[in-house]
Structure 1
Amino acid sequence: MDQNTLLKVEDLKTCFFTDSGIVASVDGVSFSVNRGETVAIVGESGCGKSVTSLSIMGLLGSSGKIVNGSIRFEGNDLLKLSKKEMRTIRGNNIAMIFQEPLTSLNPVFTVGYQIRETILIHEKISKDAAKQRVIELLKQVGIPHSERIYHSFPHSLSGGMRQRVMIAMAIACRPKLIIADEPTTALDVTIQAQILEILKSLKELNDTTILLITHDLGVVAEVADRVMVMYAGQLVEQSDVFSLFSAPKHPYTLGLLNSTPKIHRLSEQLESIEGSVPNPLQMPVGCRFHPRCPSAMDLCRQSPPPAISMSEREEVKCWLYAETKEAAGG
């Protein structure tokens, strides 16, 4: 691995073993995240975004299993670590902000106690020193009256406050990588903006690397350096954020952008992507997007497209570009 590469995922396949059959929620996903970057994974609900993040964290549960691939963090394959070794990395080197803090925080303990315990598990410091750090962390994420909030229970806080608590818990041990899974879901627009500003300031202050999981392209435009577009368990496009918004390559990416409201075109009717996400137990043959794609060809219905490098930072899985590259002699 390049020294600048913090996380490298190669050919990841994660399956869930259900009564109805085996579901490959993540199928052949490969990407890397460099130190200090904010990389976003975007796509519709059920595309495999969150399962990718849970695979990295080792939190799939009893029914989920990684059946192929590697996940390297600072050169070490996380899939080869024991549960004890993974617990040492989780929270200490890699932390996660979950999309629903009320279900992630323990309702019977105060928020201060829960963040303090996170610190005490990974560091040998006194309880008083840990408490003082928690109070400073709460201030850092914009929580007023932090000493009072330290003694509060999760249910007594607003959604925005609880999300701030989750961020404070995530950064408690100064992790190198934060995975933020839909961190602004169910929050109003004003609070969303505040949460995004906190994440951006923490990245600059601590040089933290962020892997952002979201379906909101507005959030992507606000904070991401690079974007990975996911569809039906596979990455269909990877690009820097400016190229993605100015010149999207994959028809699915174009559909997502066209279905997003734009402030200068509020009077226009939004476009929609025809059809629906395929049943994970019955994935289409060939390109998985072809039943919904306005540009689908016979080849798309027969064979899955390869990953085609369009430039040093752009990659797309689409037969349209395979033909273009071939015609150009690439």
Structure 2
Amino acid sequence: MISTTYTFLDNLAEKRRKALQERRMAREKAVEDTLHLWEKEILPDWRVVHKNAELRKLWWRGIPTKLRAPLWEKAVGNELALSKDHYRTCLSRAKRALASGIFPQATLDLIEDDMLTTLPVIHIFHKETGPLYGDLKDMLCAWVVSRSDEGLGYTVGAAKIAAMLLINMPTQQGFIVMRNLLERHCLRSFFGGERTKDDVEAYYRIFDTMLADGMPKIYFNFKQHQISPGAYLPEWLIPLFLDHLPFEACARIWDVLLLEGDSFLYRASLGILAVLEPRLFFPERKELIELLQGENKAAIDVAKREGRWPVGGKYEIYGVDEESLWERIESMEDWWKESTWTRLIQRELPDL
């Protein structure tokens, strides 16, 4: 019965996919056609986007690929005031530690394992043949050194963030962007280990409140099955969605995240649940957890039978792609309010 339901859902999803694919291609062409506008109006001072509604809409459609490096760097900023030599210094310390055998082996193993599952389909980070394997490993080892002064270790998922940056910009530039990006409070909390556990719990409460307000059926279903945001939200936020969503969908999420700030992490996460909603009402908690982990057996069996093994993130088997996700994100305009996010932050994290 469940398998039959999945076949029906997947047939519907396939029809939607074709229509959404056409929309995606049209949108990508439109983005490239506006390159001159980006270069003339936005690149000189990206902050103009906050004052101009039309330019903001343009940004939400996605930054042209060739402009992501300079615009991501500008939007993230450098509040840590890191020098251009910061990466070279941290990498030198990391290499000395590796050469002398004092770089923790357990940390090195975590890095290697994390790299192994980083964008495996595009092969550029493959250990034997990937042209960016060495750069990614160097960047992660340097990142560990840069955090060691604060007593922080490696967080699994960091390889995905470093990889996204390396695809879009040189290592030295990407390292400084990564250090500053992960200092933003929400991400810093999820990357902070035990010392930021209370803040993470506060972010879970905020997400639960927003889920209850915007998608009450999903909220009550999760409550009935005793599924808290802790069962899925860290798996999305720590790698900034790269484990579960197609690469281009993630890049576009990053575009808007860097413009809008932490609240967009939640808006994107709610968008994912909205796409998954038809599949979220299982009688068994175990099945629901498997679905959220991207490991639902019935969906996998259907994908295998139809020759659709996922190449664009774990949720590809559920029909989650860039266009379907963005359709849900934009439909939230009916109820999403930045003022609600601000109020919840002030309530749950008053010292922020």
> Which TM-score band applies after superposition, normalised by the shorter structure?
under 0.3
TM-score, scaled relative to structure 2 = 0.26
The structure that is strand-richer by fraction is 1
TM-score, scaled relative to structure 1 = 0.27
